[in-house]
């Protein structure tokens, strides 16, 4: 079994028939979930095969780790990053890789950029260590496109507060941390220019989605001409 998984992962995805791996990133309250949903609906509508997933989570092991992380009050950052990458490996091997091989658009709410920002920048886990774990678990695999939603910190905070439910530790963060996370994702967009697009997420859901769809049409014209 271990061998099958290893071999499966070692197979590089043939570029001529693989699907597309699209990730959404950004701080809390920027509207990621809504845009993930709108994009999935639009792609399904034009006849593409679509699967929506999230991190931490996705696969069976990943969802259990998500639950564990949510229920744990305080966790050592190294322990946390190990669990996140264990979840990511499971997600990749069992779900993302097979779906991409089957030609799906896999839309993922957060991926390893979130680890760089939350564990790296915020919790000071060394970026070198994070990248070693990345290499060990998913190798050179990268999203085809990462949409980073960028929003004024005060607006994000207001949105999170208006949800009333404090979902996890990050919902209780202060202004300074929100600002750090926002800058972290801006930095990610500079570092990974080859795969990221930073979108100003201020305005109506419809307006933001039309910006995303324009990017899609430009990048995947032959698949989205509908």
Chain residues in the site for ligand ATM (CB under 6 A): 28, 54-56, 84, 109-110, 114-115, 118-119, 168, 170
Cβ count within 10 A of residue 106: 24
Cβ-Cβ contacts under 8 Å for 163 (sequence gap 6 or more): 171
Return the closest-CA partner of residue 84 out of 58, 52, 51.
58
Give least dist CB 41 to ligand ATM, A.
19
Nearer to ligand ATM, 115 or 137 (CB): 115
Q: Distance of CA 72 to CAs 2, 65, 80, 169, 224, Å? A: 29, 10, 10, 10, 42
Greatest alpha-carbon span in the chain: 49
In the complex, residue closest to ligand ATM by CB = 118
Give least dist CB 162 to ligand ATM, A.
15
Give least dist CB 168 to ligand ATM, A.
6
Give least dist CB 224 to ligand ATM, A.
26
Give least dist CB 99 to ligand ATM, A.
18
Give least dist CB 170 to ligand ATM, A.
3
Q: Round to whole Å and give the CA distance between 119 and 133.
A: 12
Q: Round to whole Å and give the CA distance between 184 and 190.
A: 10
**Which helix or strand (DSSP H or E) is residue 45 part of?**
helix 32-45
Beta strands in the chain (DSSP E): 20-25, 50-54, 105-109, 145-150, 196-200
Nearer to ligand ATM, 80 or 216 (CB): 80
Give least dist CB 191 to ligand ATM, A.
16
Nearer to ligand ATM, 10 or 71 (CB): 71
Nearer to ligand ATM, 77 or 224 (CB): 77
CA 226 to chain centre: 26
Q: Round to whole Å and give the CA distance between 170 and 149.
A: 17
Nearer to ligand ATM, 20 or 110 (CB): 110
Nearer to ligand ATM, 144 or 223 (CB): 144
Nearer to ligand ATM, 48 or 108 (CB): 108
Q: Which two tokens stand for residue 22?
A: 């699209």
């Amino acid at each position: 079994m271990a061998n099958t998984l290893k071999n499966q992962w070692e197979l590089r995805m043939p570029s001529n028939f693989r699907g597309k791996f699209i990730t959404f990133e950004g701080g809390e309250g920027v509207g990621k979930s809504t845009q993930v949903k709108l994009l999935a609906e639009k792609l399904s509508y034009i006849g593409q095969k679509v699967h929506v997933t999230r991190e931490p989570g996705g696969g069976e092991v990943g969802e259990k780790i998500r639950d564990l992380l949510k229920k744990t009050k305080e966790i050592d950052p190294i322990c946390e990053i190990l669990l996140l990458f264990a979840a990511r490996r499971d997600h990749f091997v069992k779900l993302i890789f097979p779906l991409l091989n089957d030609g799906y658009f896999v839309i993922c709410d957060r991926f390893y950029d979130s680890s760089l920002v939350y564990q790296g920048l915020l919790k000071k886990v060394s970026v070198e260590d994070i990248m070693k774990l990345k290499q060990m678990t998913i190798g050179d695999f990268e999203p085809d496109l990462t949409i980073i939603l960028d929003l004024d910190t005060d607006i994000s905070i207001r949105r999170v507060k208006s949800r009333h439910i404090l979902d996890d530790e990050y919902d209780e963060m202060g202004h300074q941390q929100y600002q750090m996370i926002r800058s972290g994702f801006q930095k990610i967009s500079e570092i990974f220019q080859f795969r990221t697009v930073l979108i100003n997420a201020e305005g109506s859901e419809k307006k933001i989605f039309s910006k995303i769809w324009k990017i899609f049409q430009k990048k995947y014209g032959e698949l989205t001409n509908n």
